[in-house]
Amino acid sequence: MHFKPSLRMTRRQFVTTATAGLTVASLRGQDLPAASATQAGPAGTSRVIIDTDPGVDDALALLLAMRSPELKIEGITAVAGNVPLELTLPNALRMVEIAGRADIPVAGGASRPLLRRLVTAAQVHGENGLGGTVFPEPKTRPIAQPAAELIRQIVRKYPREVTLMPIGPLTNIATAISIDPDLVSLVKGIVMMGGSLSGGNITPAAEFNVYVDPEAARIVFQSGIPITMVGLDVTRKTSLTDDHVRALESGQSPVSHAAAKIARNAIDHTRAQGFVVGPNMHDSLAIAAYLDPTILKFKDYYIDVETSGELTAGETLGYSPTAGDDRRLPGQEKQTIKMSIRGSAPTLASTRTSPVLRDQFLPNAKVAIDVDSGRFFDLLIGRLSGKQ
Ligand code: RIB
Ligand code: CA
């Protein structure tokens, strides 16, 4: 069952209907397709759309993507997140110009989350969103269509070929699903940076991208689109070092020099804040997960998103029948595993008598649970410096 909103809905009506409809789907144990970690194919054949809130690590991730011949970047869409849209959109355009890829259409998207006020991370990414690194005003203009419309057009032009790569809050992705619900069966998959099964980075519970727009995140996780989730569980193991900066400075291209400036300022900024390790390359790891999934180890989970917690909104909860190893006996791999997925205890005012939300395990995401950081940085620095 796919959620079918009407275009006349208000944002609140859309979110309420979407999450209710999708929750009914999960309550009925609808067949949310088992996750499959999508990955890049031969050069130039892997169509992707990158949705981004540049953002220091977004900027390096965009440069990595534009230096990766496997990717056919059909579009880049900007969303408010690390800094307001008025900055994330021109910052995306700056990266496109530095990479010499003004052929890629860039669209502006949501200036705020579906139902919440925008909370930014300017304290991390600097007032200009690039950690204080200054590049000229972009000459390249964004296209006229809004992000959700560009996503819809590209996915419909190439049905089942396009992988969406959100590396910021999921507002644009959720909006695209709302304006064209059939997209959930036309998108090849989602490879996202976001979420965490090991605690948050903006609150103890929530990772920033999901924290900013938990309602959008819930709609995406409940959509039925196969998801690869690259969360803090692995991105925390990717700290940029001075050696990485020196390797970028030794590169000969505008991409390498721009990346070196951004990286140097980012390391200096984190040191000035008292951190002993460099900034994490959250978003680049999501791009790398698509380029070479063997860098990471994945595990199937049913992921749902807390949207009403006063202290925990934005938390991604991972349900799996096996805490650690997979205890299914040989030949039982395809067997649906019985398990209770519980919500909070019902209040006295509630008509519900039991918090069991579903009674079987149907994964909706492949979650990255470990990473070979050395191989990741070999790929990232090698591509940005032009040595790979
Ligand atoms: O939590 C890390 C995520 O939040 C990254 O995408 C970073 O750019 C910020 O948006
Ligand atoms: Ca980001």
Give the DSSP per-residue string, 156-202. HHSTTTEEEEE-S-SHHHHHHHHH-TTHHHH--EEEEE---SS--SS
What confidence score (pLDDT) does residue 11 get? 59
Residue 33 has pLDDT above 50, yes or no: no
pLDDT in tens, 127-138: 899 999 999 999
Domain annotation for the chain: domains and CATH numbers:
33-316+363-385 (3.90.245.10)
* Ligand 1 midpoint to CA 62 (Å): 13
Q: What confidence tier does 17 reach under pLDDT thresholds 50, 70, 90?
A: low
What confidence score (pLDDT) does residue 102 get? 96
* Ligand 2 midpoint to CA 208 (Å): 9
- Tell me how crowded residue 385 is: count the other CB atoms within 10 A of its CB: 23
Atom of ligand 1 at shortest range from CA of 57? 8
Atom of ligand 1 at shortest range from CA of 58? 8
Whether the CB-CB separation of 49 and 78 falls below 8 Å is answered with no
Residue 50 has pLDDT above 70, yes or no: yes
What confidence score (pLDDT) does residue 333 get? 61
- The residue-averaged pLDDT of 169-197 equals 98
Mean pLDDT, all residues of the chain: 90
Task: Give the helix/strand (H/E) hosting 302.
Answer: strand 296-305
Report which of residues 149 and 126 the model is more confident about: 149
**pTM of the complete model:** 0.90
What confidence score (pLDDT) does residue 190 get? 98
**CA 47, CA 100: separation in Å to the nearest integer?**
19
Q: Which residues does residue 342 pair with via DSSP β-bridges, in sequence order?
A: 356
* Ligand 2 midpoint to CA 79 (Å): 9
Q: Which residues are catalytic?
A: 282
pLDDT in tens, 253-268: 999 999 999 999 999 9
Mean pLDDT: which of 19-28, 35-44, 231-240 is highest?
231-240
Write a three-state SS string for 206-272. CCHHHHHCHHHHHHHHCCCCCEEEECHHHHCCCECCHHHHHHHHCCCCHHHHHHHHHHHHHHHHHHH
Strand-strand pairing, 296-305 and 365-371 = antiparallel
Neighbours of ion ligand 2 (CB under 5 A): 53, 55, 58, 167-168, 283
Residue 99 has pLDDT above 90, yes or no: yes
Nearest ligand to the C-alpha atom of residue 200: 1
* Ligand 1 midpoint to CA 309 (Å): 21
- Whose structure tokens read 């609140």? 12
pLDDT in tens, 286-326: 999 999 999 999 999 999 999 999 999 999 999 998 754 45
Residue 220 has pLDDT above 70, yes or no: yes
End-to-end CA gap in the chain = 45
**What residues are in contact with ligand 1 under a 6 Å CB criterion?**
53, 55, 57-58, 81-82, 121, 167-168, 193, 201, 207-209, 282-283
Q: Which residues does residue 227 pair with via DSSP β-bridges, in sequence order?
A: 190, 365
Q: Can you say whether the dihedral through the CA atoms of 23, 25, 27, 33 is positive or negative?
A: negative
Task: Give the helix/strand (H/E) hosting 51.
Answer: strand 46-52
What confidence score (pLDDT) does residue 79 get? 98
Report which of residues 360 and 72 the model is more confident about: 72
Atom of ligand 1 at shortest range from CA of 53? 10
Residue 143 has pLDDT above 90, yes or no: yes
pLDDT in tens, 330-357: 776 666 667 888 999 999 999 999 999 8
